[in-house]
Each structure stands twice: as C-alpha cells, then as structure tokens.
Structure 1
Amino acid sequence: MQKSKIWDGAVRIFHWSQVLLLAGLWYSADQEWYGLHMTLAYTLAALLLSRLVWGVVGSENARFNHFVTSPRQAWLWLRHSPKRTVNGHNPLSGYMVLLMLTLILLQFVTGLMTSDDILTEGPLVALVPSAWVGIASTIHQWNINVILALVAVHIVAAIWHQWRGDKVITAMVTGNKLTAEKGEFKFRAVGLYLLLVLIIGGAFYLWQGDVVLEMLRSEWA
C-alpha cells in the first residue's frame, strides 16, 4: 500500500464548509436570524458556484468528467462484487455529488425568490410573478429537509466505510489515502479556487451587501 494524494484543497474546503454552512443555515432559519441566514447562504453559494467551475477546470479528479460515469457503468460497478477500488469518487458517489450540488443550488435560487410575508423576502421576489414566489417558498421550505436527510445518509455511509478500513473521512481531512497503486492525478493550486470564491463572493456583496449588513445590525443590536 502507498500513500497517495487523492483530494486537493479545493474539494476539501468545499466539503467541510458545506457541512458547517448547511447546519448554520438550518439553525439560523429556525431562529429567524435572517441576516445571518443570508450571510451564510451567499457564502455557500460562492463556494458552490466556484466548485462548479472547479468541476470543469480544476484538479483532474475534481472534474465532473473524471467521476461522473454513464448510468450503465454505475450500475455495473454497483453489481460487481467485490467492488472495484476507485481513488476518489466511485460511480455511485459521483451521482450523489451531482444530486447534492443540484439540490443546494436549487435551495439558493428558491431562497432568492422566497418571502414569508412578514419579516423578509429574497431579492428576486419583486421581479417574478407572485405564483413563482409561492412555489419557490414551498420548495425552499421542504428542500432543506431533503438535503439534511441526504447529508445524514452520507455521514452514516462515511462512518461505515471509515470503520471498515476505507479511510474516507481521514482522506477528506488530509487529502491523502493508502492505495494499492500510487495516484497520478494532476492537481491545481487551491489558491485558484479561493480566488474564484472571493470574486463570486465579492459580486454577491456588491449586489446585496448593504441589505444583509443592515439586517445583521438590526438582529445583533
């Protein structure tokens, strides 16, 4: 067995930030701290949109064309026993990644069009038909439950794999994993991903920063 680098800094930063921010988003909404909720939402959106770009131009095994297989290939991998070892996302987890990214993006977009008719509303509420606002608000309310359920499944699966000896949690912390063959992935500097996050986050700040800061002041005054 050899120690191989299988996850770059960008993938690991997004992964753990996603876990913390989703927990914060759920709690801040439950407490009706909407200024904090929006701050966390724009932060996660900047990380997510940067991850989508990284999935095209980033490190080799972070790219979608590396780990997203055809449904047939995923099915064949699932049926094969013992499972073929993959350095990175296996075909099944690749689809889980796509599903999570899609649901989080849906949560963000619907949040922009959500209104509770009392305390706050998203910045796109005034720009879309009222029927869209109602639909978006309903989706936003229920989609977070789907996301949290999938996160719970993911955590249980990760703990199970870690316990079985496939050190997936350790690998997502350190970036390294013991593999039968030395990994030969090409990695890009994590600074490029962070630059993307800053650029996209800065755009969100220019767009809604004043509104969010005012809400934060009123909540913590």
Structure 2
Amino acid sequence: MWDAPPRLFHWSIVVRVATSYVTARTGRIDSHFYSDYAVLALVLFRRGWGIAGNRTARFAALIRGPRTALAHLAEIARRAPGHNAAGGLMVALLLVLLLQAASGLFANDGLFEQGPLAGLVGPAWSDRFSAVHAVVINLLLTPSASISRRCCSLR
C-alpha cells in the first residue's frame, strides 16, 4: 500500500490542477498564481518523496520500461501492493506538471498580468514561455477530455 504522503499528493494535485484551470478561465489571476505555486510545491515534494520516500513510493519501484508497463496493463486484474509498472508512466505526468508550473512563472497574458519571474527574461522569452504554458495545459487536458468522452458515451 502507498503511505500517506503519496496519497495526499495524488488528491491534492487533482484539486490544485482543477483549481488552477478554473481560476485561469474565470480571470481570477491572483488565485491562479497561488494555486500554481501549490502545484509546483506538490510536484517538487513528490519528486523528493520519489527519491527518499519509503520503498513503495520510490520511483525506482515504478520505472521498469514501457514493455513491462504494457504487459502489466494487459494483466490489470493482478494487484500488487504499492506502485505497479503502469504507474511508472505517471512519472512523465509529473514532468509535464513541472513544465506547466515552471513555464507559468515566466509567462504573461499579453495584456496586464505576468508571472512573477517574467521580468527576468524579457518580453520575447516571456511570450515563448506563455506559448509553452498554453500548449502544456492542452496536453494535460487531452487525457481527461478523452476519459470524459468515453465516460459520457457509455451512458
């Protein structure tokens, strides 16, 4: 079984990413910034816990290669304590979340708002980070949209 920190992380990241998305879409930029700071802190925590946490939370227990992950997905009925090989694919999700949070620190909205570090890179680079921030949120939303479509089409 997973210990408490990864479980708390999993549900906290779901809430924070949803909050970040909603606050960005509704123009509540101050709340969006704070929510994104929480996402960044959570991802950094999980990276650390994946290195120094207990045996079942460590990334070494996750990363077994794509072939092993796919084989595990084929035999999903078999359950083992802790992470499984398919869960190792979620390490990529952590990297995408890290890219999203980091790019937001340097991004701008082209009008009034900018990330807290945007002034360090200048307008051209801030625009590039803004583009990355926009692309990555679509990457994050694509799997959930696909799941939502499948879920809704089953009804």
**C-alpha distance in 2 between matches for 1:24 and 1:131:** 28
With over 3 angstroms needed to count, the CA separation of the structure-2 counterparts of 1:124 and 1:82, relative to structure 1, is: closer
Moved over 6 A (4+): 154-157
TM-score by length of 2: 0.84
Indicate the structure (1 or 2) with the bigger Cα radius of gyration: 1
Structure 1 residue aligned with 2:115: 122
| Structure 2 residue ranges without an equivalent (≥5) | none
**C-alpha distance in 2 between matches for 1:155 and 1:60:** 33
Percent sequence identity is 34
CA shift for structure 1 position 150: 2.8
| Structure 1 residue ranges without an equivalent (≥5) | 1-5, 160-221
CA shift for structure 1 position 82: 7.1
**C-alpha distance in 2 between matches for 1:154 and 1:15:** 18
Residue 55 of structure 2 corresponds to residue 55 of structure 1: no
Structure 2 residue aligned with 1:216: none
Q: Aligned match of 1:86 in 80, 90, 97?
A: 80
Q: Relative CO higher for 1 or 2, CA cutoff 8 Å, sep ≥ 6? A: 1
What letter is aligned with 1:44?
V
Aligned residues: 151
TM-score by length of 1: 0.61
With over 3 angstroms needed to count, the CA separation of the structure-2 counterparts of 1:119 and 1:131, relative to structure 1, is: closer
What letter is aligned with 1:64?
F
What letter is aligned with 1:122?
G
Q: Aligned match of 2:127 in 129, 134, 144?
A: 134
CA shift for structure 1 position 83: 5.7
With over 3 angstroms needed to count, the CA separation of the structure-2 counterparts of 1:125 and 1:10, relative to structure 1, is: same
